Amino acid sequence: MYEYRAWPSEGLPHIEALHHLFGLGVAEIRTDTYLFSPARPNWLIVLHGAAEIEILEKTGEDGLLSVWKVIARSEFPLRRSLVRNLQEAFPAADLSHRILVPGDLISWLDADTEMFTINKRTVQFQREGCVAEISQVEADGRRAETFSLISKRADTVTEALDFLPAPRLENVDYGSWLQGRPWSANALEPVSKAFRPMPVLGAARVA
């Protein structure tokens, strides 16, 4: 799986250009939890709301793109084979019992695990084998906008990139952003101020 993800600062035209390129999308509001283990530094472990876990392994870079391998996707309760994978990722954690809900996993993690909770407002589009995603995110006291292009084919992503306006932004995946804090993340405004509205038509789903 090939991914390009960027974090444009306010005023850049990339997100508006994606709307024109891909058309209508499906909107979703959810909270995801990202887990990082030093025992598996290339793994991206994501708890999607309270229903599903996804484990991806970053296997390298292909030009501008990140290359990912899907290790597992599963709803809760988790299969025993997936629990064994998690035992390898978190060797100091007590994962001897069945993992029925996300809280079971989080409560057993060792002290070396990094955990980030992200509140997302996301719109997803599909066109000719390419999935585009635009998100407004809050994490660890920061707020930012991000977009991604994902496909099983590298050329499908690069062709979509060719339609986006300059400047070409750095490819920064979620793990790098959460752990490194790129310059384009904006400080959170007071709670009374809302996100800038996303100019999207689509069906909303709340998870």
- pLDDT of 96 reads 64
- pLDDT of 135 reads 93
Residue from 142, 149, 141 nearest 169 by CA: 149
pLDDT at position 78 over 80: yes
Q: Is this model's pTM higher than 0.85 or not?
A: no
What is the per-residue pLDDT across 32-60, written as a single tens digit (0 to 9) for each?
999 998 888 899 999 998 889 999 999 99
- pLDDT of 97 reads 66
Q: What number does CATH give the domain 2-206?
A: 2.40.320
pLDDT at position 128 over 70: yes
Q: What residues does each domain of the chain span? A: 2-206
111-117 contact pairs (CB < 8 A, 24+): 112/37, 112/38, 112/39, 113/35, 113/36, 113/37, 114/35, 114/36, 114/178, 114/179, 115/33, 115/34, 115/35, 115/36, 116/33, 116/34, 116/140, 116/178, 117/31, 117/32, 117/33, 117/34
